[in-house]
Amino acid sequence: MHTELRNASGRVYLTIKYDLDNQWVYNNWLGPQTYVGILAGANECLHPLWENACPYLLNDNRLVVGQWSHVLEWLVRDWAPRAIAQGLTHFAHVVSADALAAHSAQALHLQIGKRFHMRLFDELEPAQAWLRAAQWQAR
C-alpha cells in the first residue's frame, strides 16, 4: 500500500506506505506543512497502522521546512490517543535539519514522548535500527 497526499498546488507533501519487509509504517513528509495537511496526513497514517496491526511508525521529516508547532495541541490531544488505542507502541521520528521544523519535533517529543516509545533521530538508519531492535525484543 502506498498513499500520496497533495496540497492545493498539486505538490506531494506526504507519502505513506506500509513497509512489508520491515513491518512498519513509513511516512515521508516533504516541504512546508499546513495545519490542514498535517491533520489529513496524520489521520491517513492511522489506516495502515490499523489495517496491518502495526505498532511501529517511522516518521521521516528530513525534507520538511518550517515549523509545524501550530498543530502540536491536536497531535497531543487527538491523534496520539487514537494511535495508541490502535496499538502504536514505537514512534521513530527523523528530524529535519531545518531549525524551525526541528524545534517542532522536540516540542512534540516533550509532550507525547512518555505515552509510547518515541525517539528523535538525525538520520534515517539509526531510526530504522531502533525500530528493528524493538521488534526483536517483542518476539
How far from chain centre, in Å, is Cα 118? Answer: 10
The residues, ordered by sequence, that sit 6+ positions from 61 with a Cβ below 8 Å of its Cβ are 29, 93, 94, 95, 96, 101, 105
What local confidence, expressed as pLDDT, does residue 1 receive?
67
Contact 108, 73 (CB under 8 A): no
Structural domain for 30, as ranges: 2-138
> What are 56-99's pLDDT values in tens digits?
999 999 999 999 999 999 999 999 999 999 999 999 999 999 99
- What is the number of structural domains in the chain? 1
pTM: 0.95
CATH of the domain at 78: 3.30.750.24
Q: Is the pLDDT of residue 113 over 90?
A: no
